[in-house]
Chain A
């Protein structure tokens, strides 16, 4: 083996496992230097802190796979948060109705996004940016910009009588027993389940394979008989519905329709999906990477917090991780590319 080959293999290994090694390294580092980091409860806390952004990130991953982008996920999540509160508190409906209405809303927003992009030929970033603004405004209209809670005064002078039902709050607050009592919160379970499903869907079904084909060469995918429009619309609908799942879980955790929550959701989840490009040297959007990317950010923030780093370090750290991951993806991966054509 020549030295050239050795360095090539080393580069290959670095690209493939670099990020995972870094993740483990961080975990070990914090276990040693941040007392209390290495415990089951702390681990669950990390998962819990990334569950909702992780779910949104998995949705945006689907749109990235078909070569699109969804900027509206954050506002879909906050809209679902407000809508579920409105349905239960003001319309006095059950938890089940609230969940169904929110999921339908997410699917509808995704459908409109998809149609704008596919039929109206609006570029994805612009269409979903427009939708983001529209939803941010729309979710405030019914309550004239107020948060929703039981006992609030309604515009017509009456008082809101409805409550967040116990079944709905269970979604955000219940913890399953696993080795320890009340260890695993529902949102973490939902996140892991969705990650598993999206991972299987994108990686191992023919639909997922065709979606990757569309993302790589849309014309070619269409010319082998793929219904490109339908797949793109479905991708945005998945993204919208997952964002609304995130919003429902957030509402269930907060127990009120808080108008100010969820500001960071969009940027955090997009960051997780982009960091995911670097995991296992995939250099493309993938569900495993997205989940790992979300966890990476979670571990880093948890560890830093436990080492008493100030709160304003958080965004800086996330940004630094994102930039490093993008360098990994785009610089290193381009260097391993072999001969194209001669």
Chain B
């Protein structure tokens, strides 16, 4: 048996009346990758935040390397050798500084460092760190000028530079391509060989299959299963996390009625081949493709946020040229945007105000809002879409990610739409909430055309009647969602231009992996 690096005993944490951790016992061993799985709200993030000194546990003990471990703050945790790479990239990097400074920033806060910065020495150190990570960029590049994946690698490289005893990776591959993820996995292998204990938090079964020596499932603030016998029981781990047997969503694809939205000869960018498709009443179309394949741009064009290079849109046979969101909404085209905390959630508002925001006019007389009407409509939508909350007056910030997303989608279902656009509706949403949302979207799909934009194939399979694959802003394939040939679909997503495995999308679906 390997040495135990970190030991947690009976860890408890509450926020107000919310009992988030209910007695966590966990051992993390040197040279072992422990994958931590759990639905949104299971308490993973809280556990991580306690480990990295951001929160204090209410009770329970932690040990690190045999000694008692109670970090006073994040800096203290790092100095003791517990290093965390957070899910949100910009927590890990300082965008306005160059790569070299980012990689060596922590050395500047070490005690005993002189007043003046020796740039050349820092750059040399940074270059060494970058090379060991397989990063090739000039270390004098500003981090803000790098793309998302490179920024993520810098954040991870920063963590590595601190030679951690326990490395915590919170969804590290969520913005990495397959080849970049491979680089990360190689690095994890190396650290494992060096005897670092690694806590790896992810929803992606493919990641977990690749790196995990052991799987710990969390559910409702407690550990619901530990799997460490070879071969690892992935199905069991997912079951332990969800608490029920996963079933394939059974979709009986409908062909749809009259044409609602006609997209003709649409070129998203200059020089691209045109996109043509028709969305029909009652059908749900999923657009899927890699980051940068044009799904987001298409959604923006349809909602009036971006101007296409060329092409016509017809809504119910009439020309449709929205020049902003309010014109689109007035024409009956609604969009739930991606990245809800940036683009959708009004953090200061309660559920009812968030839900009714687009249609306040319908809830007011002579401009004066009827709180009763707002509450009534919200309460009924909360019931229908299944938001878990105490009342419609709860602050939106008190909800978990999945429930917030239900509110954000519910707000566009309060009124009838002709076209409903959902951009990444399952982002940061646990599987339970994802099922609820998908089910309700399909249930209400009659009377409108629904267009869903998702990067993950299994999400498309779960919700759509028809799946359209975009690649480099053109249609690369179209499938009716019945016995879809997954290999064919994945090949369409990765595109004919790049047949090698290197830039394949990550097939990250617990669902698909089980199939």
- Determine whether the beta carbon of A338 is less than 8 Å from that of B397: yes
A217's closest neighbor in chain B, by CB?
Answer: B346
Min distance, Cβ B381 to any Cβ of chain A, angstroms = 15
Tell me which residues across on chain A come within 8 A of B512, comparing CB atoms. none
Which of B20, B348, B363, B397 meets A212, CB within 8 Å? B348
A206's closest neighbor in chain B, by CB?
Answer: B360
B329's closest neighbor in chain A, by CB?
Answer: A225
Min distance, Cβ A315 to any Cβ of chain B, angstroms = 32
- Determine whether the beta carbon of B367 is less than 8 Å from that of A224: no
- Determine whether the beta carbon of B325 is less than 8 Å from that of A219: no
A209 interface contact, C-beta 8 A: yes
- Determine whether the beta carbon of B343 is less than 8 Å from that of A209: no
- Determine whether the beta carbon of B345 is less than 8 Å from that of A206: no
Min distance, Cβ A289 to any Cβ of chain B, angstroms = 15
Tell me which residues across on chain B come within 8 A of A226, comparing CB atoms. 326
Tell me which residues across on chain A come within 8 A of B398, comparing CB atoms. 338-340
A229's closest neighbor in chain B, by CB?
Answer: B324
Q: What is the interface size of chain B, counting residues whose CB is below 8 A from a CB of the partner? A: 45
Provide the bound-state CA to CA distance between A209 and B46, in Å: 33
Tell me which residues across on chain A come within 8 A of B360, comparing CB atoms. 206, 209-210
- Determine whether the beta carbon of A223 is less than 8 Å from that of B346: no
Tell me which residues across on chain A come within 8 A of B329, comparing CB atoms. 224-225
A205 interface contact, C-beta 8 A: yes
B410 interface contact, C-beta 8 A: no
Q: What is the interface size of chain A, counting residues whose CB is below 8 A from a CB of the partner? A: 30
A226's closest neighbor in chain B, by CB?
Answer: B326
The tally of CB-CB contacts under 8 A between chains A and B is 99
- Determine whether the beta carbon of A220 is less than 8 Å from that of B344: yes
A119 interface contact, C-beta 8 A: no
- Determine whether the beta carbon of A339 is less than 8 Å from that of B326: no
Min distance, Cβ A209 to any Cβ of chain B, angstroms = 6
Q: Which of A213, A284, A340, A342 has the most CB of B within 10 A?
A: A342
B226 interface contact, C-beta 8 A: no
Provide the bound-state CA to CA distance between A205 and B368, in Å: 4
B224 interface contact, C-beta 8 A: no
Contacts A338-B395, A341-B400; is A207 near B348 (CB within 8 Å)?
no
- Determine whether the beta carbon of A216 is less than 8 Å from that of B16: no
Min distance, Cβ B445 to any Cβ of chain A, angstroms = 21
A227 interface contact, C-beta 8 A: yes
Which of A204, A216, A338 meets B346, CB within 8 Å? A216
Tell me which residues across on chain A come within 8 A of B395, comparing CB atoms. 338
Q: Chain B at the A interface: mostly helix, strand, loop or mixed?
A: mixed
Provide the bound-state CA to CA distance between A342 and B47, in Å: 9
- From B3-11, B35-43, B147-155, B201-209, the one touching the partner chain is B35-43
Min distance, Cβ A145 to any Cβ of chain B, angstroms = 45
A222 interface contact, C-beta 8 A: yes
Contacts A204-B368, A205-B369, A337-B397; is A227 near B326 (CB within 8 Å)?
yes
Provide the bound-state CA to CA distance between A227 and B330, in Å: 12
Which of A209, A225, A341 meets B325, CB within 8 Å? A225
Min distance, Cβ B266 to any Cβ of chain A, angstroms = 21
A8 interface contact, C-beta 8 A: yes
Contacts A205-B369, A342-B40; is A225 near B346 (CB within 8 Å)?
no
Contacts A224-B411, A338-B395, A338-B397; is A213 near B349 (CB within 8 Å)?
yes
- Determine whether the beta carbon of A225 is less than 8 Å from that of B40: no
B304's closest neighbor in chain A, by CB?
Answer: A225
A213's closest neighbor in chain B, by CB?
Answer: B346
Min distance, Cβ B321 to any Cβ of chain A, angstroms = 16
A129 interface contact, C-beta 8 A: no
Which of B305, B326, B367 meets A205, CB within 8 Å? B367
B116 interface contact, C-beta 8 A: no
A23 interface contact, C-beta 8 A: no
Provide the bound-state CA to CA distance between A219 and B341, in Å: 10
Min distance, Cβ A294 to any Cβ of chain B, angstroms = 23
Min distance, Cβ B392 to any Cβ of chain A, angstroms = 15
Interface residues in A199-250 by Cβ distance below 8 A to B read 200, 204-207, 209-210, 212-213, 215-217, 219-227
Which of B18, B42, B45, B401 meets A338, CB within 8 Å? B18
For A9-44 the 0/1 string (1 means CB < 8 A from B) is: 000000000000000000000000000000000000
- Determine whether the beta carbon of B45 is less than 8 Å from that of A223: no
Provide the bound-state CA to CA distance between A221 and B361, in Å: 14
Contacts A339-B20, A342-B40, A342-B42; is A213 near B345 (CB within 8 Å)?
no
Provide the bound-state CA to CA distance between A224 and B303, in Å: 10
Tell me which residues across on chain B come within 8 A of A338, comparing CB atoms. 15-16, 18, 395, 397-398
Contacts A220-B345, A224-B325, A342-B46; is A205 near B18 (CB within 8 Å)?
no
Tell me which residues across on chain A come within 8 A of B20, comparing CB atoms. 339, 342
B364 interface contact, C-beta 8 A: yes
Which of B16, B43, B337 meets A8, CB within 8 Å? B16
Provide the bound-state CA to CA distance between A204 and B374, in Å: 12
Min distance, Cβ A337 to any Cβ of chain B, angstroms = 7
Tell me which residues across on chain A come within 8 A of B291, comparing CB atoms. none
- Determine whether the beta carbon of B345 is less than 8 Å from that of A342: no
Which of A205, A209, A223, A339 meets B337, CB within 8 Å? A223
Q: Which of B43, B344, B411 has the most CB of A within 10 A?
A: B344
B358 interface contact, C-beta 8 A: yes
Min distance, Cβ B59 to any Cβ of chain A, angstroms = 13
- Determine whether the beta carbon of B45 is less than 8 Å from that of A341: yes
Interface residues in B394-413 by Cβ distance below 8 A to A read 395, 397-398, 400-401, 404, 411
Tell me which residues across on chain A come within 8 A of B345, comparing CB atoms. 217, 220
- Determine whether the beta carbon of A219 is less than 8 Å from that of B342: yes
Interface residues in B348-403 by Cβ distance below 8 A to A read 348-349, 353, 357-358, 360-361, 363-364, 367-369, 395, 397-398, 400-401
Supplied contacts A212-B346, A213-B346, A338-B395, 9 more A-B pairs, CB within 8 Å: A205-B364, A205-B369, A206-B364, A209-B369, A210-B357, A213-B357, A216-B348, A341-B40, A341-B404
- List 10 interface pairs A-B (beta carbons < 8 Å), by A numbering: A8-B16, A205-B368, A206-B363, A216-B347, A217-B345, A224-B411, A225-B328, A337-B397, A341-B400, A342-B46
Q: What 3 A-B pairs come out closest when comparing CB atoms?
A: A225-B329, A206-B360, A225-B326
Chain B residues within 8 Å of A, Cβ to Cβ: 15-18, 20, 40-46, 305, 325-326, 328-330, 335, 337, 342-349, 353, 357-358, 360-361, 363-364, 367-369, 395, 397-398, 400-401, 404, 411
